[in-house]
Amino acid sequence: MNWITNYVRPRINSLFSRREVPENLWTKCPECGTMLFHRELSDNLNVCTNCDHHLPISPRDRFAALFDGGAFVEVKVPDPVADPLQFRDQKKYPDRLRAAQKATGEKEAMLVAEGEIGRTPIVAAAQDFSFMGGSMGMYVGNAIIAAAERALRRKRPLVLFSAAGGARMQEGILSLMQMPRTTVAVEMLREAGLPYVVVLTHPTTGGVTASYAMLGDVQIAEPNALICFAGPRVIEQTIREKLPEGFQRAEYLLEHGMLDRVTHRSALRDELVSILRMLGRLPAPTKADLPPPAPSAAPAIEVKADAKTRTPEKTGAARAG
Ligand SMILES: [Zn+2]
């Protein structure tokens, strides 16, 4: 049995997965049409190097770029009841879930983690639009509650990255229930005096906008992100009028007082560190205080510093020895 699970199965798996190596090394920018090399794109946090368009980024990649040294610990989220309504449209709900899990490599539409950014301990939660449109079901509700409870226990601020098409229709009223549930979770943080910062990413819509995504102490958005309850197409059809340009986009909402900041993805980390340290009454961040980026570079610098400061001691020791 061991031989089968430890040797044969990995071999078979590797044979099959080898064929699935992605050959699409290029991504076309949906805004300007430039072909972007995948490594260049990921090095630039999935922002187009030509036109600065912010392409979607997975929660895992975002956390890897956000946390110091890319190190974070996942916070466990309790599993909700599976398929309570036995929902079926063209596909069964569990089949849709499985397909999304296979496509994204993630369990559900939200990832919760804790770690440090700029030596500031935080809890973070990020929603995955590529997982069934980031839809808010019971799992996402549980994830936000787990994140808030962890933040409370550890007395850390909570940073939430939203991206969602709204509530998960396959869970019906149970998904809508997540609106008050998550609102209560945010309220728990407020009562404990812990900062809750929301970063709205493209797109954040529906019930998510109507609950936890709009309740932050500080509301930041990524450039040109669509943030709305009902989308522009629906509104246009309802009121039969042409909407102004940039309607419901981050910059428009900033101008109209719905947001505090619109921040480029490359500047987001530093800005979060500044805001969280300010709200947590911690000393201002200093670049020099950050841990060295490459572990291999650390000893060389330390040895040099040591050699300078401890030269007399060392020579003394050598003489004595
Ligand atoms: Zn572009």
Give the whole-number percent of the chain exceeding pLDDT 70.
85
Helices (H), 133-209: 138-154, 172-176, 178-191, 206-209
Q: What is the pLDDT of residues 79-117, one digit of tens each?
A: 999 999 999 999 999 999 999 999 999 999 999 999 999
Does 44 share its domain with 146?
Answer: no
DSSP state at residue 259: -
Judgement on whether residues 49 and 109 belong to the same structural domain of the protein = no
Lowest mean pLDDT among 136-145, 166-175, 310-319: 310-319
**Residue 79: inside a domain:** yes
Q: Is residue 100 part of a domain?
A: yes
Please tell me the distance between residue 188's alpha carbon and the centre of ligand 1 in angstroms: 41
State whether 209 and 254 are in the same domain: yes
Q: Find the 156 Cα to ligand 1 centroid distance in Å.
A: 36
The residue length of the chain stands at 321
CATH of the domain at 129: 3.90.226.10
Assess whether pLDDT exceeds 70 at residue 169: yes
Among residues 54, 69, 101, the one where a domain terminates is: 54
> Residue 152 C-alpha to ligand 1 middle, in angstroms?
40
User: Do 119 and 144 reside in the same domain of the chain?
Assistant: yes
- 41 and 125 co-located in one domain: no
Number of domains in the chain: 2
Tell me: do 129 and 47 sit in the same domain: no
Q: From the CA of 89, how far away is ligand 1's center (Å)? A: 36
Q: Are 163 and 109 part of one and the same domain?
A: yes
Does residue 94 share a domain with residue 155?
yes
- pLDDT tens profile 12-55: 766 666 555 456 799 999 999 999 999 999 999 999 999 999 99
Model confidence band, residue 286 (pLDDT cutoffs 50, 70, 90) = confident
Residue 321 placed within a domain: no
Cα–ligand 1 centroid distance for 202 (angstroms): 15
CA-based nearest residue to 195, from 112, 284, 257, 278: 278
Kindly indicate the confidence band of residue 312, based on its pLDDT and cuts at 50, 70 and 90.
Answer: very low
Does some domain include residue 306?
no
pLDDT above 80: residue 2: no
CA of 36 to the centre of ligand 1 (A): 8
What gap in Å lies between CA 167 and CA 177, rounded to an integer? Answer: 10
For residue 163, the model assigns a pLDDT of: 97
Same domain, 133 and 236: yes
Domain carrying residue 144: 56-291
Domain boundary among 37, 54, 71: 54
**Does 68 map to a domain?**
yes
- Going from the Cα of 251 to the center of ligand 1, the distance in angstroms, rounded, reads 18
Q: Looking at the domain assignment, is residue 17 inside a domain?
A: no
Q: What is the pLDDT of residues 189-239, one digit of tens each?
A: 999 999 999 999 999 999 999 999 999 999 999 999 999 999 998 999 999
Task: Evaluate whether residue 303 is within a structural domain.
Answer: no
Q: Compute the average pLDDT of residues 295-318.
A: 45
51 annotated as ligand-binding: yes
**Same domain membership, residue 276 and residue 264:** yes
Q: How far is CA 89 from CA 95, 96, 102, in A?
A: 11, 10, 20
Separation of alpha carbons 261 and 271, rounded Å: 10
Residue 157 sits in the same domain as residue 80: yes
Distance in Å, CA 54 to ligand 1 centroid:
8
Cα–ligand 1 centroid distance for 136 (angstroms)? 29
Shared domain for 146 and 191, answered yes or no, is yes
Band of pLDDT at residue 9, cut at 50, 70 and 90: confident
Cα 42 to middle of ligand 1, angstroms: 14
Residues whose CB falls within 8 Å of the CB of residue 136, separated by 6 or more in sequence, listed in order: 109, 164, 166, 167, 168, 175, 178, 179, 182, 206, 207, 208, 211
- The pLDDT assigned to 199 comes to 98
Residue 304 resides in a domain: no
Based on its alpha-carbon atoms, the radius of gyration of the chain, rounded to whole angstroms, reads 23
